[in-house]
Amino acid sequence: MDPLFYLGGLAVLFLVWIKMKGLEYVIIHQRWIFVCLFLLPLSVIFDVYYYLRAWVIFKMCSAPKQHDQRVRDIQRQVREWKKEGGKKHMCTGRPGWLTVSLRVGKYKKTHKNIMINMMDILEVDTKRQVVRVEPLANMGQVTALLNSIGWTLPVVPELDDLTVGGLVMGTGIESSSHIYGLFQHICVAYELVLADGSLVHCTEKENSDLFYAVPWSCGTLGFLVAAEIRIIPARKWVKLRYEPVRGLDAICKKFAEQSANKENQFVEGLQYSRDEAVIMTGIMTDDAEPGMTNCIGYYYKPWFFRHVEGFLRENRVTVEYIPLRHYYHRHTRSIFWELQDIIPFGNNPLFRYVFGWMVPPKISLLKLTQGETIRKLYEQHHVVQDMLVPMKHVKNSILRFHEDVHVYPLWLCPFVLRSQPGIVHPKGDEDELYVDIGAYGEPKVKHFEANASTRQLEKFVRDVHGFQMLYADVYMDRQEFWEMFDGTLYHKLRDQLNCKDAFPEVYNKICKSARH
């Protein structure tokens, strides 16, 4: 009984301390306490529930039958909105805190919320090599099922909780994107409920204008109810090669060479300072050399970015064999490197062995509990941005990030941008190699100011014909926004499908200058 007595005493003292300091003080200044005691256990419960739910529904093959009814329900809601006069714009009824984006969707309070409860995998067609999924199915759910039957997506965006709908209506990228392009480029069909309540199927050949206009439209052309996505045969392992590189010129040269080499199925760079990086290249394989395997996804393993940093410190080239799904979700446990700011000791071996099985906390729960004070602090003193720039400008882009935000590590992910109609495409008529530069963390420059610094970065990206991912805070005005993005096809479809009274324009939905 003595240990229980002491634990009870500690719990009482902890509650007294919270009462004296105030819950808001604890959540703001000692957030790790709140995260470890409450959000981690809640996150486990969420994961277990959704895993069991997906498993039961797929085993019972009930998802396709339920899907048709769900689509009819969405159509009914849209037609009711129209019958009532369509006085307010429509949006999905999913709460804003459930999305992975850190942006707060204030429009949810003023728009007509259409409830869309569609989170299942509908069909895996290995003959056609496609998987048909609902919009709220997430990457963890999809890869778990596909990998178990020997298949995978050509592009698997990193975090488990990223949904198909978010990746279609926004965008998604991974270290295989230098071959396959963005997430939209592996999609072969979309099904949408339009502003008039009709259900439309679109592909490259059927309703092709809508097919190309949907990506990056952020749900402002219709409600996505299903998507068909290419699948490819999976292998058991990823043979991953880590190569430390020093000197910015050498980093850019090595990264561009490896990105252009199509024999590499995966290419990624982690840049730890202006002149230090590790370039990783990988291929899928069914065979692993004895003694060279590393199951990096196990809860007690070091966070991946710290594991990679070890090779930089030791200045040695290394090869490891990593289980395929572990590789796909290598940054999930540490939310890239964001978790170190929330749980500073999270990579400590003791913490990993005792509590690592509960990591990471759900991003949605972090958003739900952050409060206005933390949200404003994050907005002013924290950067979460992905800028997509042509590979030929990678050196100047890294220097610009270094001068304007000085956040490390930087995530470097190459991708081929297809020359196709739509909101995002290369400046010329041919496919072009781009790189996603991701900055996540606290800026180390003294002059950082969220609005001015981000606008300066946005201007640079526009000048090199790059693009900003729209999940992040966007500070451009309307003219600047449509200088960066091509609205020709998008606005044409908005007129043809009578979207202007039904959905907000994408700029009004996501840009700060339009929302304040």
In this prediction, residue 62 has a pLDDT band, given cuts at 50, 70 and 90, of low
Amino acid at 23: L
Q: What is the pLDDT of residues 425-446, one digit of tens each?
A: 999 889 999 999 999 999 998 8
- Transcribe 444-506 into DSSP letters: --TT--HHHHHHHHHHHHHHTT-EE-TTS-B---HHHHHHHS--HHHHHHHHHTT-TTTS--H
Distance CA 477, CA 74 (A): 33
Share of the chain above pLDDT 90, in %: 71
Residue 264, SS3?
A: coil
Q: What is the pLDDT of residues 442-498, one digit of tens each?
A: 999 888 888 899 999 999 999 999 999 998 889 999 999 999 999 999 999 999 999
Predicted confidence at residue 48, as pLDDT, reads 86
Question: Read out DSSP for 233-253?
Answer: E--SEEEEEEEEEESHHHHHH
Of 195, 8, 48, 26, residue with least CA distance to 114: 195
What does pTM read for this prediction? 0.90
In whole angstroms, what is the distance from residue 310 CA to residue 282 CA? 18
Within 10 angstroms of residue 247's Cβ, the number of other Cβ atoms is 13
User: Given CA atoms 513, 423, 123, 203 in this order, what sign does their dihedral have?
Assistant: positive
- pLDDT tens for 92-117 read 888 776 777 766 667 788 889 989 98
Q: Quick one: which H or E segment has residue 133?
A: strand 130-133
Q: Of 325, 320, 323, which Cα lies nearest the Cα of 310?
A: 320
Report residue 446 as tokens.
């003294």
Mean pLDDT along residues 162-190: 96
pLDDT for residue 1: 45
Contacts 24+ apart (CB under 8 A), 342-348: 342/31, 342/32, 342/35, 342/366, 343/32, 343/35, 343/36, 344/32, 345/32, 346/303, 347/302, 347/303, 347/306
Strand, coil or helix: 430? coil
Grouping H, G, I as helix, E, B as strand and the rest as coil, residue 376 is: helix
d(CA 8, CA 13): 9
Residue 58 in this model has a pLDDT that exceeds 70 = no
Residue partners of 183: CB distance under 8 A and separation at least 6: 155, 157, 167, 168, 171, 172, 173
pLDDT digits 0-9 by tens, 362-417: 888 887 777 776 777 777 788 999 999 999 999 999 999 999 999 999 999 999 99
List pLDDT tens digits, range 349-369: 999 999 999 999 988 888 777
CA distances from 424 to 101, 245, 288, 432 (A): 20, 32, 39, 12
Res. 190: pLDDT tops 60: yes
Whether the link from the prior residue into 421 is cis, omega within 30° of 0, is: no
Residues of the chain by 3-state class (helix, strand, coil), percent to 5: 45, 20, 35
Task: Judge contact between 215 and 423, C-beta under 8 A.
Answer: yes
